Chain A
Amino acid sequence: MTGTLRRWSLLFLLPALALYLTVVIVPSISVVDYGFFDWSAGQRGRPAGLDNYVEIFTDPELWAALWHTFVLLLGAMAIQLPLGFLFAVLIHKRHPGSGFFQAVFFIPVVLSTVVIGVLWTQVYQAQYGLLNAALDALGLAGLTHAWLGETGTALMSVVVVVGWQYVGLYMLIFLSAMQAIPRSIYEAGELDGAVGWRQTLTLTVPMLLDTVKLSVILVVTGSVQYFNLIWAMTKGGPANSSSVLASYMYVKAFQDNRLGFAAAVATFMLLLNLLLAVGLQRLFRRDPLEPA
């Protein structure tokens, strides 16, 4: 019986392995290889040694993109985690209307990135955009901008939308962790006088430490490869003022047709991502592949 089971199981593993190797593993190994060659017209050319890497790290555009990626990471974290946590706490208190707020806050998470990107491009539009109209109505006409068209505001404008999109997700992640805290812990705390906001600070926050760590890892690794709203709203412009690593790589690969160079950028992103993921897990003492 065990023999038959084993034979079936080996057979059962094959389709998933084939799919996974073709789409995920083999490409992420060959991208490293691609980066050591010159490519033209989609064909591998002469070996380039480390030329691509030398060129990348001497390109001021890469450093700009790296800096913007970092700004995006910090901005997204500063918006998503505190607001997500705050709303989770408020909804967890089960005041009237919390079901409604929970449902509404989650709506942006469900919408597709392109819908959000096209919509917010209109919101930020200079002449007929909702944001400038709201500022005018509040008597703040001096603050209006062509938000996505100016080098000073483009990146932050996109970062705000990235935050807007995912506050609901982190709210939900925190909320489901709070709901998993056993009632008995709260009851014991109440006997010791932990009620209201004291309860939140002394009981809920420490119990959620692991979820907070997980969320930080999610935001960091998500930001390193962030592309979607940047591309849907500014394509990295104007004048590269909102370019990130992913958009930099995309332009090099599919607009300048420099596949080898772009593959080297992709390799750099892969290493950065693995380094940050493993590094943060170490720092937080979590097993890399163990879910919360």
Chain B
Amino acid sequence: MRRLPFTALMALWAVVCLGPLVWMVVNGFRGNNDIFLSAVGAPEWAKRVNFADAWVQGDLGRALVMSVLVSSAATVLCGTCSALAGFALSRGRLPHANAIFTFLLLGMMIPTFSVLIPVLTQFQSMGLTDSPVGLMIVYAGFSVSLGVFLFKNAFDQVPREYLEAAAIDGASVPWTLVRVVLPSVKPTIATFAILTFLSGYNDFVFALVLIAGEEGRTLPLALLQFSGRFGTRYDLVFAAVTIGAVPALAAYLFLRGQIQRGVAMGGRVS
């Protein structure tokens, strides 16, 4: 019985966490006038058309594809670069390896907002604004510090015998990295991929500044503009934001353990 107050407290917070989300989904299935007259009401199956309307009018499909493509490409690009650099710093026997490592980690202390203006003017002169490529480069660049940190530390743990055995077999350095070292740090690869993908997928600051046209909009940008433009179509706003929440919720449902481990790790690192 002593634990009852604590369980009640946790149940209360669970309601605070889930309440707004349930309300969002239910209101997606209600008519505009109904919502305006009363905040809470029963959903109607016939109003499922709201979701189709929001999807089409907000061009959410294109935005979702754009978000997934840009974030995945940034993850692959940054993952490749930082795994290579992590290997060089961990096993390369380079002079000043520690100083280079520290320099690469400085990025964790630099706020997004300090680089926003120079990145914009630089990308304008290179024709990289309004382009998914530009956005990908920014997301990848901002994850280099995290990637190098994760990969270097993971490679440090790989037993030296593995590398010696590969060297005796006459394996080249790239072959050793790809076939011997990388397969033994799979959890780190998963952590890195989840964190980098999420930071690109959830970003809207860089998208706000670098993307002006409708073609290149990512999902957060499309949702923000949708709620501005259709501000009085409450039903569609609820449907749109529900659509926006579904991919992340689905991913969380299937990869809960990995996402929690990754994000906790990321929190401890940065």
Which A residues lie at the B interface, using CB under 8 A?
A: 1-2, 4-6, 8-10, 12-13, 15-17, 19-20, 22-28, 30-31, 34, 42, 83, 86-87, 90-91, 93, 95, 97, 100-101, 103-115, 117-123, 127-130, 132-133, 164, 167-170, 172-173, 175-176, 211, 214, 218, 221, 224-225, 227-228, 231-232, 245-246, 249-250, 253-254, 259, 262-263, 266-267, 269-270, 273-274, 277, 288-289, 291-292
Contacts and interface: CB of A to CB of B under 8 A. Distances in A.
Contacts of B248: 110-112, 115
B104 A8 contact: no
B117 A109 contact: no
A232 B9 CA distance: 30
18 contacts: A19-B137, A23-B142, A24-B144, A24-B145, A27-B117, A27-B122, A31-B118, A34-B118, A110-B249, A110-B259, A112-B204, A113-B204, A118-B237, A118-B241, A130-B40, A172-B260, A227-B112, A288-B109
B224 A232 contact: yes
Contact of B113 (A4, A23, A129, A249): A249
A104 B10 CA distance: 10
B85 A273 contact: no
How many chain B residues sit at the interface, stated as a range, is 35 or more
B263 A172 contact: yes
Contacts of B36: 127-128
Nearest to B256: A103
Contacts of A123: 20, 23
A133 B167 CA distance: 70
Contacts of B81: 15-16, 19
B237 A90 contact: no
Interface of B: 3, 6-7, 9-10, 13-14, 16-21, 23-24, 27, 35-40, 77-78, 80-82, 84-85, 87-89, 91-94, 100, 102, 104-119, 121-122, 124, 137-138, 140-142, 144-145, 147-149, 167, 173-174, 198, 201-202, 204-205, 208-209, 219-221, 223-224, 227, 234, 237-238, 240-241, 244-245, 248-249, 251-252, 256, 259-260, 263-264, 267-270
Contact of B174 (A8, A127, A214): A8
Nearest to B118: A27
Nearest to A120: B20
The 9 closest A-B pairs by CB, nearest first: A23-B141, A9-B92, A133-B39, A16-B85, A27-B118, A9-B88, A225-B111, A27-B115, A12-B84
B102 A112 contact: no
Contacts of A176: 264, 268
A132 B138 CA distance: 41
Contact of B114 (A111, A175, A270): A270
B224 A114 contact: yes
A114 to B, nearest CB: 4
A25 B16 CA distance: 41
Which of B113, B209, B224 lies at the interface centre, i.e. has the most chain A CB atoms within 10 A of its CB? B113
Contacts of A86: 9
